[in-house]
Chains A and B, each alone.
Chain A
């Protein structure tokens, strides 16, 4: 209904504009009207250019003030997170600086040099020095960004096996996630979707004859011990998915037919992150919104929305079909002791099969 009303209002605005233009046109009819800009048009649009410059600045400031508190730029929860955040902040500062200056020049020139009858423009076709300057400056800035960026990238993507990472498989299917822990031997058993046997509850297609597979543990929640490097091996059984863990600055596609990987070290437990003042503020803000959104539901006799409590999430970030928008898995980062206690409660693969 809101949408329809909006559209009706818009149509009325259009009609109003159209009528105004007609009046404007008729008023101009006597003077020369060949639809080419006159000095008056130039002046009006010159001022509008300055107004538009102000609009760009205002919308920038509004966006930063209202939405600039970005959980994806601060409070990362992985060891490599701060390097990405730093690079992101440096890039953003450069972007905002260049944006502010160039937009000013563009719109200010459009205002300052607005046309007047009888004025003649400066015949200025070329200047090698100027062009050299604005070729070399971007070269230097970009060289810095490229070197910093590549360095960061190589550090993140390079897997250091000597760290003895915890190996975990992330398994994607329409439309949910599973995790497979390698068990005591820290070696994932062989697997292929051709070996899936739903009747025997071999849902991930593990090779039952592989000794490494026997102690594997399949779960629907991802638990990670804090401070321990973890190496994810990703698989998908049907279409492309993407394992996106925004708080850990981690993402990798899951591709049917191949195994992809991504590694990081979680550094903040879920419990600690819930205590983080920034996060608490965000959670409170969200809960205020949820209380507000619950009011119409309660009025209709439905249940209110649940209170939100912070959790790390693994979400699908590659279009994968109808329920793409609801393909998620909870991630719990905890102390080694809590993790050990949790993993002990999970069933090993050999015990989970139905014979």
Chain B
């Protein structure tokens, strides 16, 4: 980032002037823009680890128990003679899930863009509390470090699946990874949750209190609405996971029986009595389900904003978009039981959760149709960010539709915990959220680094990724519907599934290509930070406030007064104006009506 070493020369005094050293500027920074970049880079590094893991276990699934030099090099003692061990297979699956869901798609996505965009788009000098914001990032960093350290413990990292259901996760004798590896997993996640809560509280307070003059709630860009509601869901649900993690720590280390009862393992009866693993499942999914919306809502917000800007059209149905975010947020907290239809809970509860779950399809459908209508009769600027946004809608539809099978308790009996589930959630929240994140990075890279990403590399990145994403996850639905359970180290003990082996090879080849293609993006990202084309102030000709700030970052965001806002964020191609966008800072003309729907 040395290219920006001279930026503080442009710093203006806004009443909190202080001399910046390297440490306060790049490490313990309280500036939301720098913190956003820190989140992004940390999330990217974790993402590389997570994707590498998935490439390794995909190779194991496609060519089971075949020696592989890559395994020998990367897994060491866990791959004697290059053959992957069954325990480490489960560990890879577990840590891949944990890293991608929490460290990449929660912190990396929401952490980056909430931090970057909330102050800039609402017209604030910084977050409500810069200090808490800094603490939030460093807690996230600490939890990332602990999670990475957990990969190297003697008995192996946590391997009970990212859902860490006890008793498997509670008993070191049930599985090697449930020893020190699981302890570190729990500690890391507890710290992660603290980080996430501090961040969320900050976002909520900032959006409520620090909007500039004229920025009413119904003039907010949809990005801010999405981040705001995401933060609220996070504050409601993350503490429940924290309590689950703490109770599990108690069971593991202090002899309590919250989740354990009547266990006979390795020739002895354990003392646990009266607890219930199903209770853990309830607590876990009370966060776990809202978590997928914590992941997807920010992506939806970014995509809405990017689509409007690149279509040169207002987002269609602004109020309906807000209403559907609210509806999704509300419903997300009362559907967790659809992960537990066959857990042994009362079947009547299953009926209730089926009902609430299928209702989510309604606001989701509204959003999908509104995005499609936003494209209709637009003047689409096919920037890489726009491609990823269109890709987002595509994978969100494909992945979301199969939700009506999984959300239906009667059908879930048969496809529960098969590859059908894996295909579903990877498309609807994994790939979609990743596309949202990429879209955001391509779109706001000029805002973050003052330079442009190379668009041709962006095109290659998108198209190859898009083909691979479908190549991996579309056929996967079919092996799931054929009954293949997930988290199997090898399927060779089931001749029944022999005719699915070739599908798994196809999926793995697409996955490997898809993984390697991300190098194109990484190259583009890191090279462009230093050598990218210099950005202009408003390269995409957008209406929102962040593009009124100078290209070079300054503390406090705007050199002079904070601009006032006179209209909503989506006056693109408005009749009566010469240019096809009217920034929010432009006052209404005489007789001009503010269209605010």
Please give the residue numbers on chain A whose beta carbons come within 8 Å of chain B beta carbons, in ascending order: 1-4, 6-7, 10-11, 13-14, 17-18, 21, 24-25, 33-37, 41-42, 44-46, 48-49, 52, 55-56, 59-60, 63, 66-68, 70-73, 83-84, 87-88, 91-92, 94-95, 98-99, 102-103, 105-107, 109-110, 113-116, 119-127, 130-131, 134-135, 138-139, 142, 145-146, 149-150, 152-154, 156-158, 173-174, 192-194, 196, 198, 205, 234, 237-240, 242, 244, 246, 249-253, 255-258, 260, 282, 285-286, 289-290, 293, 305-306, 308, 313, 315-326, 328
- Chain B, residues 498-515, CB within 8 Å of chain A (1/0): the string is 111101000001001100
B263 within 8 A of A: yes
How many B residues touch the partner, as a band?
35 or more
B573 touches A122 (CB 8 A): yes
Once A14-B516, A257-B277 are accepted as A-B contacts, the answer to whether A322 and B86 lie under 8 Å apart by CB is yes
Once A121-B378, A255-B277 are accepted as A-B contacts, the answer to whether A126 and B597 lie under 8 Å apart by CB is yes
Please give the residue numbers on chain B whose beta carbons come within 8 Å of chain A beta carbons, in ascending order: 59, 63, 66-70, 86-87, 90, 160-161, 165-168, 171, 174-176, 260-265, 267, 269, 274-278, 311-320, 342-344, 347, 350-351, 354-355, 358-359, 361-362, 365-366, 368-373, 375-383, 386-387, 390, 393-394, 397-398, 401-402, 404-405, 408-411, 413-418, 452-457, 459-460, 463, 466-467, 470-471, 474-475, 477-479, 481-483, 485, 487-491, 493-496, 498-501, 503, 509, 512-513, 516-517, 519-520, 523, 532-533, 536, 539-540, 570, 572-575, 580, 595, 597
CA–CA, A91 to B412, complex, Å?
12
Could you give 26 example pairs across A and B, Cβ below 8 Å?
Answer: A14-B517, A59-B474, A72-B414, A72-B481, A88-B411, A106-B375, A109-B372, A109-B376, A115-B379, A121-B311, A124-B314, A124-B377, A125-B597, A126-B319, A142-B361, A142-B362, A149-B411, A153-B350, A154-B351, A194-B269, A238-B263, A240-B277, A252-B342, A313-B496, A316-B485, A324-B488
CA–CA, A49 to B499, complex, Å?
33
CB-based nearest B residue for A126: B597
CA–CA, A192 to B261, complex, Å?
11
A10 touches B316 (CB 8 A): no
A114 touches B380 (CB 8 A): yes
Once A36-B539, A196-B269, A251-B342 are accepted as A-B contacts, the answer to whether A25 and B275 lie under 8 Å apart by CB is no
Once A121-B379, A123-B313, A324-B488 are accepted as A-B contacts, the answer to whether A34 and B165 lie under 8 Å apart by CB is no
Once A121-B313, A125-B597, A315-B494 are accepted as A-B contacts, the answer to whether A17 and B381 lie under 8 Å apart by CB is no
A42 touches B382 (CB 8 A): yes
Of B68, B378, B517, most A-chain CB atoms within 10 Å: B378
Q: List chain B residues, Cβ under 8 A from A124.
A: 313-314, 316, 373, 376-377
A149 touches B317 (CB 8 A): no
B264 touches A238 (CB 8 A): yes
B498 touches A308 (CB 8 A): yes
| Extra A-B contacts (8), CB below 8 Å, given A103-B394, A319-B161, A320-B168 | A1-B67, A72-B483, A109-B372, A114-B380, A115-B378, A115-B382, A121-B573, A317-B416
CB-based nearest A residue for B458: A35
CB-based nearest B residue for A282: B499
CA–CA, A322 to B84, complex, Å?
12
B487 touches A319 (CB 8 A): yes
Partner among B161, B174, B358, B520 whose Cβ is within 8 Å of the Cβ of A146:
B358
- Shortest beta-carbon distance, A67 to chain B, in Å? 4
Q: List chain A residues, Cβ under 8 A from B161.
A: 319
Q: List chain B residues, Cβ under 8 A from A237.
A: 263-265
- Shortest beta-carbon distance, B449 to chain A, in Å? 12
CB-based nearest B residue for A192: B262
Q: List chain A residues, Cβ under 8 A from B474.
A: 56, 59-60, 63
B382 touches A114 (CB 8 A): yes
A135 touches B362 (CB 8 A): yes
Partner among B174, B313, B478, B487 whose Cβ is within 8 Å of the Cβ of A174:
B174
CB-based nearest A residue for B278: A255
Q: List chain A residues, Cβ under 8 A from B344.
A: 234, 252-253, 255, 258, 260
CA–CA, A4 to B368, complex, Å?
41
A52 touches B466 (CB 8 A): yes
Partner among A37, A106, A319 whose Cβ is within 8 Å of the Cβ of B372:
A106
A325 touches B489 (CB 8 A): yes
CB-based nearest A residue for B365: A138
A91 touches B411 (CB 8 A): yes
Partner among A95, A99, A257 whose Cβ is within 8 Å of the Cβ of B262:
A257
A3 touches B417 (CB 8 A): no
Q: List chain B residues, Cβ under 8 A from A107.
A: 390, 394
CA–CA, A149 to B403, complex, Å?
13
CA–CA, A2 to B69, complex, Å?
10
B358 touches A142 (CB 8 A): yes
Q: List chain B residues, Cβ under 8 A from A68.
A: 478
Once A125-B570, A193-B262 are accepted as A-B contacts, the answer to whether A67 and B405 lie under 8 Å apart by CB is no
Of B362, B402, B410, B488, most A-chain CB atoms within 10 Å: B410
Q: List chain B residues, Cβ under 8 A from A52.
A: 463, 466-467
B314 touches A123 (CB 8 A): yes
Partner among A55, A145, A174, A293 whose Cβ is within 8 Å of the Cβ of B470:
A55
Partner among A6, A95, A234 whose Cβ is within 8 Å of the Cβ of B512:
A6
Once A67-B479, A152-B410, A257-B261 are accepted as A-B contacts, the answer to whether A328 and B493 lie under 8 Å apart by CB is yes
Once A95-B402, A251-B416 are accepted as A-B contacts, the answer to whether A3 and B70 lie under 8 Å apart by CB is yes
B520 touches A258 (CB 8 A): no
- Shortest beta-carbon distance, A16 to chain B, in Å? 11
A59 touches B481 (CB 8 A): no
- Shortest beta-carbon distance, B401 to chain A, in Å? 4
B452 touches A35 (CB 8 A): yes
Once A194-B269, A325-B489 are accepted as A-B contacts, the answer to whether A21 and B454 lie under 8 Å apart by CB is yes
B499 touches A34 (CB 8 A): no
Q: List chain B residues, Cβ under 8 A from A13.
A: 516
A49 touches B390 (CB 8 A): yes
A253 touches B343 (CB 8 A): yes
CA–CA, A98 to B398, complex, Å?
9
CB-based nearest B residue for A260: B344
Partner among A18, A84, A115, A319 whose Cβ is within 8 Å of the Cβ of B411:
A84
User: 3 smallest A-B Cβ distances: which pairs?
Assistant: A257-B261, A157-B347, A260-B344
- Shortest beta-carbon distance, B168 to chain A, in Å? 4
Partner among A92, A110, A114, A258 whose Cβ is within 8 Å of the Cβ of B278:
A258
Once A239-B168, A256-B261, A328-B493 are accepted as A-B contacts, the answer to whether A138 and B488 lie under 8 Å apart by CB is no
Q: List chain A residues, Cβ under 8 A from B394.
A: 56, 103, 106-107
CA–CA, A126 to B467, complex, Å?
33
B409 touches A153 (CB 8 A): yes
A121 touches B533 (CB 8 A): no
- Shortest beta-carbon distance, B387 to chain A, in Å? 6
CB-based nearest B residue for A40: B382
CB-based nearest A residue for B60: A3
Q: List chain A residues, Cβ under 8 A from B470.
A: 55-56, 59
Q: List chain A residues, Cβ under 8 A from B393.
A: 106
Q: List chain A residues, Cβ under 8 A from B265.
A: 174, 237-239
Q: List chain A residues, Cβ under 8 A from B491.
A: 325
Partner among B90, B460, B575 whose Cβ is within 8 Å of the Cβ of A322:
B90
Q: List chain B residues, Cβ under 8 A from A135.
A: 362, 365-366
Q: List chain B residues, Cβ under 8 A from A67.
A: 475, 478-479, 482, 500, 503
CA–CA, A325 to B262, complex, Å?
25
A240 touches B267 (CB 8 A): no
A139 touches B362 (CB 8 A): yes
B414 touches A249 (CB 8 A): yes
Partner among B351, B375, B382 whose Cβ is within 8 Å of the Cβ of A41:
B382
Once A25-B454, A95-B401, A113-B375 are accepted as A-B contacts, the answer to whether A45 and B365 lie under 8 Å apart by CB is no
CA–CA, A152 to B350, complex, Å?
12
CA–CA, A49 to B375, complex, Å?
13
B378 touches A113 (CB 8 A): yes
CA–CA, A94 to B411, complex, Å?
15
- Shortest beta-carbon distance, B52 to chain A, in Å? 12
CB-based nearest B residue for A308: B495
Partner among A24, A244, A257 whose Cβ is within 8 Å of the Cβ of B456:
A24
